[in-house]
């Protein structure tokens, strides 16, 4: 399938703020502080975080291609190849000459490095790749605008920021003085005084400072455009059916939309919520990138079992966060989070990490943890798709007669808050693990 231009938005992320797509819907993308590619391309150093199936690699390839068509030096490189084989080997066919012309010339260049998580899966050092790029670019590094992609769960905020600033420093560029006319000089004090009375605006990072952004989920128009490109004949009917079936949370990533479009094209309708949740999870648990080295680490049946175990633990434990592996976590944002390795204590580290990288997780980069299943706004601020899926898992496993028991136990947990989580679990083994992980719930 050819690239489909969706005009994606990117939200700068901070330590204590979760990405909220509703801000853009209510206030507009720009008032919410979001940037599109035209804004990102003005920056010198940018990290783009995205979960699986968000289309970050396709966006990087397309931007490199579009800049090249405009006659601007631009290069798409895989970080693992850069770390392992060197810069020239990582370049595409015929790009070595273009790179050398850029390196020895005066023009700016754009480099799209994809991606940190792939390099780490292949046991390649991200820092080694940065060192190679810095060494081979030499003084021309001052003219390089560098974009780096990573899955949210693989981003090591403090360490990776330090490495980028150390090996790919960007300094403030000299700005040409603006010649203001006499009239502008007279009016400028009036406008400066007016600015002091306006509401304070969110401070913007300077172009030379490192900017970390997260890809904003698709809105209705973007998902409809992608569905049309995927062969959906009537995108309006398709979009209306999504809303009617309560599947809005399942169309936020390009991969999700393609799954829904495939289902719709085969059946011309959507199934029940339970059936669509089951279908979506099945697709998300299957790694979309066939050459990822962790594909062989986890069999499909085991991936499903692990996802069900974590979803049930989150649902009955009244939590919707999991600790991400290997990341720095903010303790203030991790209250109630569950440690996946304790719930899957018979799994190897490779199997746990492979499961947590699959697309059924919705990461939260500021906390260093991962929200499971999808948006948690469809039921209540505290019960969401994680809880919904966990309940669906238990009902599918033990029958519809088990639903009143689940809801009653959850209600009791909410009222007294001290029931052992292990009391609620469907199997002795799972109960033992749950009780050990969260003995006071």
Amino acid 32: pLDDT: 76
3-class SS at 47? strand
Contacts of 141 (CB under 8 A, 6+ apart): 133, 134, 168
| pLDDT-derived band at 419, boundaries 50, 70, 90 | very low
Q: Are 111 and 146 in contact (CB under 8 A)?
A: yes
Q: Are residues 266 and 413 in the same domain?
A: no
- Is the pLDDT at 430 greater than 90? The verdict is no
Domain presence at residue 289: no
Confidence (pLDDT) at 313: 77
**What's the mean pLDDT in 338-367?**
76
What confidence tens digit (pLDDT) does each residue in 179-231 have?
556 555 555 655 555 444 443 344 455 677 999 999 999 988 999 999 999 99
pLDDT: is 83 or 110 the higher one?
Answer: 110
In a domain, 264, yes or no: yes
184 assigned to some structural domain: no
**Which residues have CB under 8 Å from 180's CB, separation 6+?**
188
**Does some domain include residue 123?**
yes
Q: Examine the pLDDT at 10 and tell me if it is beyond 80.
A: yes
CB of 110 within 8 A of CB of 74? yes
**In the block, residue with structure tokens 């009391």:** 423
Predicted pLDDT of residue 2: 92
**Are 322 and 364 contained in the same domain?**
yes
Q: Which two tokens stand for residue 304?
A: 């499903």
Do 105 and 252 share a domain, yes or no?
no
CATH at residue 130: 3.40.50
Q: Same domain for 151 and 231?
A: no
- Judged against a pLDDT cut of 60, whether residue 371 lies above it is answered with no
Judge whether 192 lies within some domain: no
Is the pLDDT higher at 406 or at 210?
A: 210
Spatial distance between the Cα atoms of 224 and 33, rounded to a whole number of angstroms: 24
Joined together, the tokens standing for residue 424 give 């609620």
Distances (CA, A) of 79 to 64, 110, 185: 15, 15, 49
pTM value is: 0.74
Q: What is the pLDDT, as a whole number, of residue 120?
A: 81
The rounded mean pLDDT for the chain is: 75
Residue range 269-273: average pLDDT?
A: 89
Co-location of 141 and 90 in the same domain: yes
β-pairing verdict for 45-50 and 74-78: unpaired
Mean pLDDT of 347-356: 85
The reply to whether 306 and 427 lie within a common domain is yes
Residue 155 tokens read as 């981003």
Query: Are 16 and 159 members of one domain?
Result: yes
* 74 touches 67 (CB < 8 A): yes
Instruction: Grade residue 278 by pLDDT with cuts at 50, 70 and 90.
Output: confident
How confident is the model over 186-198, as pLDDT tens digits?
Answer: 556 555 554 444 4
114 and 247 part of one domain? no
pLDDT at residue 420 greater than cutoff 50? no
Q: Are residues 257 and 365 located together in one domain of the fold?
A: no
Rg (CA), the chain: 24
Residues 412 and 369 in one domain: yes
| Residue 140: domain span | 10-173+206-215
What is the predicted pLDDT for the residue at 374? 41
Same domain flag for 228 and 139: no
Residues 242-251, buried b or exposed e (16+ Cβ, 10 A)? beebebbbbb
Assigned domain for 378 exists: yes
Inside any domain, residue 354:
yes
CA dist 122 and 111 (Å) reads 21
The Cα–Cα gap between 180 and 104 comes to 35
The DSSP 8-state label assigned to residue 324 in this structure reads P
The mean pLDDT value for 108-115 works out to 96
Same domain, 419 and 379: yes
Give the per-residue pLDDT at 199: 37
Q: Tell me whether residue 281 is in a domain.
A: no
What residue has token string 């050819």? Answer: 2
Sign of CA dihedral 151, 152, 154, 160: positive
- State residue 57 phi and psi, 5-degree precision: -65, -40
What is the spatial distance between Cα 103 and Cα 111, in angstroms, rounded to a whole number?
12
Q: How many structural domains are present in the chain? A: 3
* H or E, element range at 364: strand 361-364
């Amino acid at each position: 399938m050819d690239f489909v231009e969706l005009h994606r938005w990117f939200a700068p992320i901070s330590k204590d703020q979760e990405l909220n797509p509703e801000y853009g819907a209510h206030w507009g993308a720009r008032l919410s502080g979001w940037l599109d590619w035209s804004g990102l391309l003005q920056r010198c150093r940018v990290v783009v975080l995205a979960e699986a199936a968000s289309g970050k690699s396709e966006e990087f390839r397309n931007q490199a291609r579009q800049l090249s068509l405009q006659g601007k030096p631009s290069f798409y490189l895989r970080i693992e190849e850069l770390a392992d084989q060197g810069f020239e080997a990582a370049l595409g066919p015929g790009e070595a000459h273009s790179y050398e012309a850029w390196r020895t010339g005066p023009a700016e260049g754009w480099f799209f490095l994809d991606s940190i998580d792939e390099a780490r899966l292949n046991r390649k050092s991200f820092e080694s790749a940065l060192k190679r790029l810095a060494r081979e670019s030499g003084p021309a590094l001052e003219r390089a605008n560098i974009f780096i992609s990573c899955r949210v769960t693989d981003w090591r905020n403090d360490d990776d920021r330090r490495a980028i600033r150390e090996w790919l420093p960007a300094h403030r560029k000299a700005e040409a003085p603006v010649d203001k006319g006499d009239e502008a000089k007279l009016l400028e004090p009036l406008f400066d005084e007016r600015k002091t009375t306006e509401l304070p605006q969110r401070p913007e990072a300077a172009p030379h400072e490192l900017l970390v952004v997260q890809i904003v989920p698709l809105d209705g128009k973007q998902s409809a455009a992608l569905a049309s490109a995927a062969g959906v004949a009537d995108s309006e009917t398709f979009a209306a059916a999504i809303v009617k079936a309560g599947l809005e949370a399942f169309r936020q990533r390009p991969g999700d939309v393609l799954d829904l479009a495939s289902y719709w094209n085969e059946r011309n309708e959507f199934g029940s919520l339970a059936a669509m949740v089951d279908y979506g999870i099945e697709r998300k648990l299957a790694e979309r990138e066939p050459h990822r080295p962790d594909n062989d680490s986890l069999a499909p049946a085991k991936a499903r079992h692990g996802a069900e175990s974590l979803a049930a633990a989150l649902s009955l434990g009244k939590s919707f966060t999991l600790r991400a592996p290997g990341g720095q976590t903010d303790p203030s944002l991790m209250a109630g989070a569950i440690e996946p390795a304790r719930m899957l204590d018979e799994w190897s580290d490779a199997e746990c990490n492979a499961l947590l990288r699959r697309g059924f997780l919705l990461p939260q980069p500021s906390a260093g943890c991962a929200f499971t299943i999808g948006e948690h706004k469809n039921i209540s601020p505290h019960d969401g798709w994680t809880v919904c899926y966990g309940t669906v898992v238990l009902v599918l496993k033990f029958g519809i007669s088990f639903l009143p028991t689940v809801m009653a136990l959850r209600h009791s947990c909410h009222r007294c808050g001290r029931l052992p989580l292990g009391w609620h679990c469907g199997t002795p083994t799972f109960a033992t693990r749950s009780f050990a992980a969260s003995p006071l719930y």
